[in-house]
Amino acid sequence: MTRRSLRVRLWIRAAASIAVALIVAGAGLLTLFERHVERRIGSELRVQLNQLAAAIRVAPDGELDLTREPLDPRFGQPLSGFYWQIDDPNRPGLLRSRSLWDGLIALPEDQLDPGAVHAHELAGPGGQTLLVRERLILLRSSGNLVPLRLAVGLDRAELTAARDAFAADMLPYLALIVLVLALATLVQIQTGLAPLEKVRRGVGAIRSGQAPRLTHDYPDELMPLVNEVNALLSARAQAVERARAWTADLAHGLKTPLNALTADAQRLREQGHPTLADDLEQLAQAMRRRVDRELIRARVRSGAKADKARVDVAEAARRLLRTLKRTPEGGRLDWRLELPSEAHAALMPDDLMDLLGNLLENAAKWARTRVWLNVTVGERIEVRVGDDGPGVRSELLSTLGERGLRLDQRKEGTGLGLAIVRDILDAYGGELAFGYTEIGGLMVSVRLPMSGSHSEYMQ
- Answer whether 152's CB lies under 8 Å from 45's CB: yes
Could you tell me if residue 411 is inside a domain? yes
3-state secondary structure of 38: helix
**Residue 113 has what pLDDT?**
83
Nearest 5 degrees, angle CA 60-CA 65-CA 70? 145
The H-assigned helical ranges of 121-222 are 156-207
Same domain, 264 and 250: yes
Pair (321, 360) in one structural domain? yes
Q: Would you say the pTM of this structure is higher than 0.75?
A: no
Q: Are residues 27 and 53 in the same domain?
A: yes
Cα separation, 86 vs 70, whole angstroms? 13
* 287 found inside a domain: yes
Residues 298 and 392 grouped into a single domain: no
> Is 404 in the same domain as 270?
no
Q: Which of 132, 161, 190 is the last residue of a domain?
A: 161
Give the SS3 label for residue 153: strand
* Distance separating alpha carbons of residues 225 and 234, to the nearest angstrom: 14
Strand order in the sheet with 381-387: 334-338, 370-377, 381-387, 442-448, 431-436
Does 361 fall in a domain? yes
| Residue 370 contacts residue 388 (beta carbons within 8 Å) | yes
State the Cα–Cα distance between residues 161 and 129, nearest whole angstrom.
13
| Residue 179 neighbours by CB under 8 Å, 6+ apart | none
pLDDT in tens, the chain (459 residues): 677 788 888 899 999 999 999 999 999 999 999 999 999 999 999 999 998 988 888 877 778 888 888 888 998 899 989 999 998 888 888 888 999 988 888 888 878 888 888 999 999 888 899 999 999 988 877 767 888 899 999 999 989 999 999 999 999 999 999 999 999 999 998 888 888 888 888 888 877 667 788 887 888 888 888 888 889 888 887 887 787 777 767 776 777 787 788 888 888 888 888 888 888 877 877 777 777 666 666 666 655 544 557 889 999 999 998 888 888 888 888 999 899 988 899 888 888 888 898 899 888 888 999 999 999 998 899 999 999 988 787 777 766 755 444 444 344 444 467 878 888 888 888 899 888 888 888 889 999 988 864 433 333
Amino acid 457: pLDDT: 34
Q: Which DSSP symbol is given to 307?
A: G
Residue 362 buriedness (CB in 10 A; 0-12 / 13-18 / 19+): buried
As a whole number of angstroms, the distance between CA 56 and CA 70 comes to 11
Q: Do both 448 and 316 map to the same domain?
A: yes
Helix/strand/coil for 46: helix
Last residue of a domain, one of 119, 138, 161: 161
Together in a domain, 264 and 311: no
pLDDT of residue 401: 56
Q: How far apart are CA 169 and CA 163, in angstroms?
A: 10
Residue 140 covered by a domain: yes
Q: In terms of C-beta distances under 8 Å and separation of at least 24 residues, what long-range contacts does 300-304 make, across chains too?
A: 300/351, 300/423, 300/424, 300/427, 301/240, 301/243, 301/244, 301/423, 301/427, 302/240, 302/241, 302/244, 303/209, 303/237, 303/240, 304/209, 304/348, 304/351, 304/427
Number of domains forming the structure of the chain:
3
Q: Burial of 68 by CB count in 10 Å (0-12 exposed, 13-18 middle, 19+ buried)?
A: exposed
pLDDT recorded at residue 297: 64
Full DSSP string of 364-433:
HHH-SSEEEEEEEESSSEEEEEEESS----GGGGGGTT-TT--S-TTS---S-HHHHHHHHHHHHT-EEE
Q: Are residues 263 and 333 in the same domain?
A: no
> Residue 115 in contact with residue 136, Cβ under 8 Å?
yes
Q: What is the pLDDT of residue 72?
A: 86
End-of-domain residue from the set 161, 184, 200: 161
CA neighbor of 139 nearest in space, from 105, 114, 157: 114
Q: Give the pLDDT of residue 298.
A: 65
What is the identity of the amino acid at 133?
R
Tell me if 416 is assigned to some domain.
Answer: yes
pLDDT at 184: 93
Does the residue 174 lie in any domain? Answer: no
- Across-strand partners of 121? 131
On whether both 298 and 311 belong to a single domain, the answer is no
Is 356 domain-assigned? Answer: yes
For residues 297 and 378, state if they share a domain. no
Report the residue count for the chain.
Answer: 459
- Which structural domain, as residue segments, surrounds residue 270? 211-303
pLDDT, tens digit (0-9, with 9 covering 90-100), for 278-287: 888 778 777 7
Write the CB contacts of 427 (distance below 8 Å, at least 6 apart in sequence): 300, 301, 304, 351
Spatial CA neighbour of 58 closest among 135, 147, 140: 140
Same domain, 27 and 156: yes
